[in-house]
Amino acid sequence: MDGWRTRYFPILAEFVRSGGQFVRPETRELWRELSHLPADDILEHHEESVKFLLSYADPEDRMTFVHRSLLFITELLISLRLPEGAAAREEADAERLLLSASAIHSAPMEEEHPNKFETVLQHMDSGIALFDGAGNLRFLNVQMSRMLQAPRRSLIGCTLYQLFFHANLQLSVRRNFLRIYREMVLYRRFRGEFQDANGRFLLVSISQIEELDGDYLISVKDVSEYKQIEQTAFQNDKLAMLGKIAAAIAHEIRNPLTSIRGFIQLLNPYLKEVGKQEYGRIILSEIDRANDIIYEFLNSSKPSAPMKQTVLVGLLLKESILLSESEALMKGCELHSEIFDPYLTVAVDVKQIKQVFLNIVKNAMDAIYEVKGERKGLIDISARREGKYALISIKDNGKGMERATLNRLFDPFFTTKDEGTGLGLSVSYRIICNHGGTIHVDSQLNEGTEFLIYLPYVEGKE
């Protein structure tokens, strides 16, 4: 393809988009190059470019696009100052252009059904964009426009450089453009997974195939849901592995502990005679504590099946808050609760769900305590119905978490506390899963954390 053909379309698109102004600095250079070409070649390429512009234009914009494209080619023909002998053709060329442009405009309106291949492309769940070899954006579909959060008409015809500084694009989007471009140029990486500022995982693929005449096809797909499914499966695999380990060692540890406990109880009378009964009490207490740790270890891999009963969510939260109030007072935290639906009911194992609430509230208090003095500690607890689920939110204004910590939050034995076991949230995760619910966590470093617990909603009894 000739160089002028590559430059012609973005200059035309910029002219149409800007309301009829030549804003591209390379316009004069293109004019000089076109001055040596036959008018027929220019008109033919102009018609193709107008058709391409109309292919992405909204119906209400088509007439405006046609008028501005006519203005563009008219000013071009005048500026070229066609040589003597071609002047007679200029009027015929303009009339021919008007007829062809009118036909271009009216054709899509007359068709009841647009080109089915274009319809498929526009309604794909992946964002599609096409750049030519010079870096000009020639096409993007509706899904790509939604991902970029900018209208298509403001982007078509822009160069990569213009997209980096485009006023209609958010700063986070422009940074991702630059990052993808750097990966492609420096590392020849044409396929990769990126995470945007909203936490979405985007799979980006860049292709250059012979059928596109040197153009670059960019495909962007939101794979956040698949990522979540993958992480859930990975989490379940780790919990299953933990269960195998627990089953293998729990029996071997409990047996000698049971024997030691029995012998200490037999020795109690002799310890009393020598005034050392306190030793026996401490030994028994430590053995019981070891048994509790083993029970928690087993429970983390496979909590007992829930004994469900229908209960008001508000009542569950009220009891959990009462159990946490004294510790919250000691750590300088204020507990605030709001129940948007007082008749919100769920079918749960009350003991297990309370354990989940208490685990999360305790973690929130610890996070607030670590930033004590910087701001007043506040834990907001709320409950409302969302579709088929009861949504319980536990939000704090503590230290928050980095993304690396957030990704491993429910891993068994992972903890950021000096004295933590790393089993509390792992147990909580499995309990909620056993109830047919889910847990989502959103956290910002130095701002706070919010746990969103979804439990299946059930109709309460009258």
Distance CA 240, CA 251 (A): 18
Residue range 111-163, pLDDT digits in tens:
444 455 666 666 677 888 888 777 788 778 888 888 888 887 778 778 777 78
- At residue 285, the pLDDT reads 83
Domain residue ranges of the chain, discontinuous segments joined by +:
3-111, 117-222, 227-301, 309-456
Which amino acid type is present at position 55? Answer: S
- At residue 312, the pLDDT reads 93
In the sheet with 127-131, reading across from the earlier edge strand, the strands are 137-140, 127-131, 216-222, 201-207, 191-195
| Predicted confidence (pLDDT) at residue 242 exceeds the cutoff of 80 | no
CA angle 323, 329, 330 (to 5 degrees): 105
Residue whose tokens read 């020639």: 138
| Predicted confidence (pLDDT) at residue 288 exceeds the cutoff of 70 | yes
CA 71 remoteness from chain centre: 44
Strand partners, 391: 384, 454
Distance CA 217, CA 221 (A): 13
Backbone Cα Rg of the chain: 34
- Mean pLDDT, range 435-448, rounded to an integer: 90
Distance CA 108, CA 89 (A): 29
CA angle 11, 16, 18 (to 5 degrees): 90
| Top-confidence residue, 196 or 45 | 45
Q: How confident is the model at residue 85 (pLDDT cuts 50, 70, 90)?
A: very low
Is the domain covering 117-222 a CATH 3.90.550.10 domain? no
Closest alpha carbon to 361 in 337, 396, 392: 396
* Residue 211 DSSP symbol: G
pTM for the model: 0.45
Q: How confident is the model at residue 83 (pLDDT cuts 50, 70, 90)?
A: very low
| Predicted confidence (pLDDT) at residue 380 exceeds the cutoff of 90 | yes
% of the chain exceeding 70 in pLDDT? 76
* Mean per-residue pLDDT over the chain, rounded: 77
Distance CA 270, CA 409 (A): 49
Q: How confident is the model at residue 215 (pLDDT cuts 50, 70, 90)?
A: confident
- CA distances, 37 to each of 29, 44, 50, 62, 77 (Å): 14, 12, 19, 29, 11
The answer to whether 277 and 268 have CB atoms below 8 angstroms apart is yes
Q: How confident is the model at residue 453 (pLDDT cuts 50, 70, 90)?
A: very high
Burial pattern 204-233, b for ≥16 Cβ within 10 A else e, equals: bebeeeeeeeebbbbbbbbeeeeeeeeeee
| Predicted confidence (pLDDT) at residue 298 exceeds the cutoff of 70 | no
- At residue 186, the pLDDT reads 73
| Predicted confidence (pLDDT) at residue 334 exceeds the cutoff of 60 | yes
Cβ-Cβ contacts under 8 Å for 3 (sequence gap 6 or more)? 33
Q: Which two tokens stand for residue 430?
A: 């499995």
| Predicted confidence (pLDDT) at residue 377 exceeds the cutoff of 80 | yes
- Mean pLDDT, range 189-208, rounded to an integer: 76
- At residue 391, the pLDDT reads 94
309-456: which CATH topology?
A: Heat Shock Protein 90 (3.30.565)
Q: How confident is the model at residue 87 (pLDDT cuts 50, 70, 90)?
A: very low
Residue range 175-189, pLDDT digits in tens:
877 777 777 777 777
- 391 CB neighbour count, 10 Å cutoff: 20
Q: Which two tokens stand for residue 438?
A: 């889910």
| Top-confidence residue, 409 or 236 | 409
Most confidently predicted of 78-82, 185-189, 215-219, 396-400: 396-400
Residue range 23-65, pLDDT digits in tens:
667 777 777 778 777 777 777 788 878 777 776 666 667 777 7
- At residue 84, the pLDDT reads 41
| Predicted confidence (pLDDT) at residue 275 exceeds the cutoff of 80 | yes
| Predicted confidence (pLDDT) at residue 231 exceeds the cutoff of 70 | yes
Distance CA 361, CA 380 (A): 10
- CA distances, 312 to each of 338, 456, 458 (Å): 14, 13, 10
- At residue 357, the pLDDT reads 92
Q: How confident is the model at residue 347 (pLDDT cuts 50, 70, 90)?
A: very high
| Top-confidence residue, 445 or 157 | 445
The answer to whether 4 and 30 have CB atoms below 8 angstroms apart is yes
